[in-house]
Structure 1
């Protein structure tokens, strides 16, 4: 599930939204109100239950051979075992929007934002089998007891890296024994 050319998409567990109003997200680092969406390249980052912590790493042109070998795939998304059932059973929906109302957000433009209310191009589309989506996209999905070793290694490497909802991940192992 990716947006078509000229579109962006927003993923939600609520299939009943008819109008998206700009708001300040609970996790926002800025005070401005936005409607958030993503383009085709970032859509896989949201093929998860909304609150699911995930770490993502991928090969960049500047990635060293050692880091490429450590990752073992072109792109990896990692979650914790505690989220497997939610991955299997979540009701996830995608809303498509015209990209005309959105602008790139941030230095790396991983997301786009609108500062005005926007209406979807049509009803919410159910996003089925999240595991199959990852497989079809060539993304290796890894399940781990704890995400932090992966986060620490990937974020300190020459790989591309992103983490979403990491505040919902299990505590670091050192925090469990300290």
Structure 2
């Protein structure tokens, strides 16, 4: 199993467990993402985004509502104001050894380690929009993510909602 950490810093020698700045109640972990969900992180770190896909739990109604006009099996929506930053961001993929990691959210592909981790390798991701195109993920660009956010969380669609604290407050 391949696990990754994405960063705009190309020179991280090791990853130390830490408590997220946004959730002081959380335990200290090193966070990683699995290969299937890695494209959710082909964005600048602080970019708000809503990624969603169907699963065996998805109703036919929701499948038609969210995927009725596309052949894509996964969609990621971002806000318009982030497009320029996506084009300009240099992102690096750190491959992490999986031995000390455990899955804490299979739906979102999140893994954590309680121990420090040395990356196996680091590679530039390249052009982020090109990488998304290569994955056959549909990218949607919208002025605000909030309506989609609200619709997705009350649906039967599988999702991962990332950095919404940075989303536009203009609904």
Name the TM-score, length of structure 1 as normaliser: 0.87
Distance 1:68 1:107 in 2: 21
Q: Which runs of 5+ in 1 are unaligned?
A: 1-5, 174-178
Distance 2:123 2:106 in 1: 30
Q: Which residue of 2 aligns with 1:53?
A: 48
Distance 2:9 2:115 in 1: 20
1:63 corresponds to 2:61: no
**What is the number of residues matched between the two proteins?**
167
Q: Which runs of 5+ in 2 are unaligned?
A: none
Question: 1:65: how far off?
Answer: 2.4
Distance 1:12 1:107 in 2: 22
* 18, 25, 42: which one aligns with 2:20: 25
CA displacement 1:89-132 (0-9 Å, x = unmatched): 1010011111012111247563111111111113x210112222
SS at match of 1:52: coil
Against the structure 1 CA distance between its residues 44 and 29, is the aligned structure 2 distance closer, same or farther, given a 3 Å change threshold?
A: farther
Distance 1:11 1:83 in 2: 17
Q: Which residue of 2 aligns with 1:3?
A: none
Q: Which residue of 2 aligns with 1:153?
A: 151
Name the TM-score, length of structure 2 as normaliser: 0.90
CA displacement 1:8-53 (0-9 Å, x = unmatched): 1100111011111111111236431111111112211111100000
Distance 2:93 2:120 in 1: 11
Output the aligned Cα RMSD.
Answer: 1.7
Does the Cα contact within 8 Å between 2:77 and 2:140 map onto a contact in 1?
yes
